[in-house]
């Protein structure tokens, strides 16, 4: 038993204390959180825009067609573009998208974190868009009609009546997307970004001891996810309170 603890302690010192390598993990976690957070913000912005375009077109197709002319074709084109975006992003692996961003689109830049935020944000936007669109479509059509019959235009109805209800409805799914994204960013090491996973890998490469750094990385991810999940639960409870 004593030997076990002694071994454990030695391993710990070797992997984290010597050369202050624990700092790598801290830096890695910081980068992981930065990439995840800003990617999700970009994702939510893109997602709301794309979802609005698609559901606006679906709901107002009849009105637009009746009005005809340039306006209808403009809407049709925008909607088609949104569909292409969704198909391409959801049809290719995120690692490939990241590599394309890094080595082709921004080949002259070496700001890895910025590029990762771009790539993961663009990727997450497609999934968030479908989450939001599902939320918009799930709202009872009578809510639209009630808003419109009071004299609100389409966008006011969306802003004051539909979107607040959609956000409440999709919040759990959206937070789930954040958690998925947090774990997905672990491939950022492919383009040389020192995220949490990469930090663990670097330590392993230095010490030739796999157990400690990798288990530590796993535990850190787990703790962050569990904490986030709890926060979501509290938020959900808050939101639901005013419906009773």
Partner 1 sequence: MRDNSAIIQTIGLKKYYNGESIKAIDNVDLSISRGEVVVIIGPSGSGKSTYLRSLNLLELPTDGSIIFNGVDIADKNVDINVHRQKMGMVFQHFNLFPHMTVLGNMTLAPMKLLGKTREEAEAKAMELLRRVGLENRADAYPSQLSGGQKQRIAIVRALCMEPDVMLFDEPTSALDPEMVGEVLELMKQLADEGMTMVVVTHEMGFAREVADRVIFMCDGKIAEEGTPEEIFTAPQNPRTKQFLDSIL
Q: Which residue from 19, 93, 164, 205 is in contact with partner 1, where contact means CB under 8 A? A: 164
Residue pair 39/185 in contact (Cβ under 8 Å)? The answer is yes
**DSSP calls for 57-110:** HHHHHHHHHHH-HHHHHHHHHHHHHHHHHHHHHHHS-HHHHHHHIIIIITTT--
Shortest gap between Cβ of 153 and partner 1 (angstroms)?
5
* Selected range binding partner 1 among 80-88, 118-126, 137-145, 186-194, rule: CB under 8 A: 137-145
- Residue 113: CB atoms within 10 A of its CB come to 15
**DSSP calls for 172-233:** HHHHHHHHHHHHHGGGGGGGT---HHHHHHHHHHHH---HHHHHHHHHHHHHHHHHHHHHHH
By CB under 8 A, residue 229 contacts partner 1: no
By CB under 8 A, residue 61 contacts partner 1: no
Eight-class DSSP state of 140: -
Contact pattern for partner 1 over residues 167 through 196, marking x by CB under 8 A: -x----------------------------
Residue pair 25/220 in contact (Cβ under 8 Å)? The answer is yes
Shortest gap between Cβ of 224 and partner 1 (angstroms)?
31
By CB under 8 A, residue 9 contacts partner 1: no
* Selected range binding partner 1 among 25-33, 125-133, 150-158, 201-209, rule: CB under 8 A: 150-158
By CB under 8 A, residue 165 contacts partner 1: yes
Q: Which residue from 104, 151, 237, 238 is in contact with partner 1, where contact means CB under 8 A? A: 151
Both tokens of 74, joined, read 């403009």
Q: Which residue from 2, 4, 5, 62 is in contact with partner 1, where contact means CB under 8 A? A: 62
By CB under 8 A, residue 3 contacts partner 1: no
């Amino acid at each position: 038993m004593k030997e076990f603890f002694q071994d454990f302690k030695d391993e710990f010192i070797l992997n984290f204390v010597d050369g202050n390598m624990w700092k790598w993990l801290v830096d890695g976690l910081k980068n992981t959180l930065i990439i995840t957070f800003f990617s999700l913000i970009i994702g939510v912005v893109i997602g709301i825009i794309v979802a609005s375009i698609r559901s606006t077109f679906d709901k107002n197709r009849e009105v637009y067609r009746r009005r005809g002319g340039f306006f209808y074709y403009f809407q049709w084109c925008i909607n088609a573009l949104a569909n292409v975006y969704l198909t391409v992003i959801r049809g290719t692996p995120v690692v490939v998208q990241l590599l394309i961003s890094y080595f082709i689109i921004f080949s002259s830049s070496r700001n890895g974190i910025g590029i990762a935020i771009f790539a993961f944000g663009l990727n997450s936007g497609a999934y968030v868009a479908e989450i939001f669109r599902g939320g918009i479509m799930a709202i009872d059509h009578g809510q639209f009609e009630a808003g419109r019959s009071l004299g609100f235009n389409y966008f006011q109805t969306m802003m004051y009546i539909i979107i607040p209800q959609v956000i409440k409805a999709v919040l759990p799914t959206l937070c789930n997307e954040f958690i998925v994204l947090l774990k997905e960013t672990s491939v950022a090491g492919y383009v040389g970004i020192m995220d949490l996973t990469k930090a663990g890998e670097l330590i392993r490469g230095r010490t030739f001891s796999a157990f400690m750094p990798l288990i530590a990385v796993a535990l850190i991810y787990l703790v962050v996810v569990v904490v986030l999940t709890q926060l979501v639960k509290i938020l959900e409870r808050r939101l639901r309170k005013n419906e009773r």
